[in-house]
């Protein structure tokens, strides 16, 4: 009797832990003009970044933005410019969490930023290959790296299709701009809630 109760309790405990783990890893669906991309976010290792990303998701910020920078065999970048390639107004920058142990491997999503380590706002990129030179090395201007906060769990074919689009240079000197930038129609939560920082 005790043995049966112990097994039932252990099963319940394991189920609770499994549900808790799922809740800590929200998933979002990114609907693009090239097809869908499903992302699983790592709220445990990148809590500030995931909360920031989900804030933009919940506000509908990404609807109508484009992938404005595409470099095959490197990454695709989007989430900050509208279809006219005008930068959207964002919230304040967030703290860089690149020292969280997550690596810039193929299929991971990371925050784009300026040369300043703690300058990421809404823009992100998806790695097309393992880009280890973008990983955290040390807390210095050149060593901070780029915060990985999730990974593509479905839709890498869409990511790869975007990577193959022809690009051009604009008169203002901006390079690697798709001739017809792929539109992010909508980003919405599938599961999970934002973890409070």
61-118 pLDDT tens trace: 999 999 999 999 999 999 999 999 999 999 999 999 999 999 999 999 999 999 999 9
d(CA 131, CA 108): 10
Identify the three-state secondary structure at position 191: strand
Q: pLDDT band at 15, cuts 50/70/90?
A: very low
Q: What is the share, in percent, of the chain residues with pLDDT greater than 70?
A: 85
Domains and CATH numbers, the chain: 25-191 (2.40.100.10)
Q: pLDDT band at 141, cuts 50/70/90?
A: confident
pLDDT at 41: 98
Question: What DSSP element (H or E) covers 68?
Answer: strand 65-71
Q: Is the pLDDT of residue 197 over 80?
A: no
Question: 84-109 burial string, b = 16+ CB within 10 Å, else e?
Answer: eeeebeeeebbebbbbbebbbeebbb
Q: What is the share, in percent, of the chain residues with pLDDT greater than 90?
A: 81
């Amino acid at each position: 009797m005790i043995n049966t109760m112990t097994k039932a309790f252990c099963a319940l405990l394991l189920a609770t832990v499994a549900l808790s783990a799922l809740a800590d890893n929200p998933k979002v669906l990114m609907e693009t003009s090239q097809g869908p991309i499903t992302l699983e976010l790592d709220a445990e290792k990148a809590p500030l970044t995931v909360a920031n990303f989900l804030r933009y998701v919940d506000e509908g910020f990404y609807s109508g933005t484009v992938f404005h920078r595409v470099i095959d065999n490197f990454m695709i970048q989007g989430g900050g410019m509208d279809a006219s390639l005008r930068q959207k107004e964002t919230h304040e920058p967030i703290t860089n969490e690149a020292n969280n142990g997550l690596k810039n491997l193929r299929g991971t999503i990371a925050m784009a930023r300026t040369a300043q380590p703690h300058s990421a706002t809404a823009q992100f990129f998806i790695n097309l290959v393992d880009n280890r030179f973008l990983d955290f090395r040390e807390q210095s201007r050149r060593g901070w790296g780029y915060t990985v906060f999730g990974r593509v769990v479905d839709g890498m074919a869409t990511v790869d299709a975007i990577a193959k689009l022809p690009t051009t240079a604009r008169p203002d000197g901006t390079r690697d701009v798709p001739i017809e930038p792929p539109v992010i129609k909508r980003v919405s939560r599938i599961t999970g809630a934002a973890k409070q920082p």
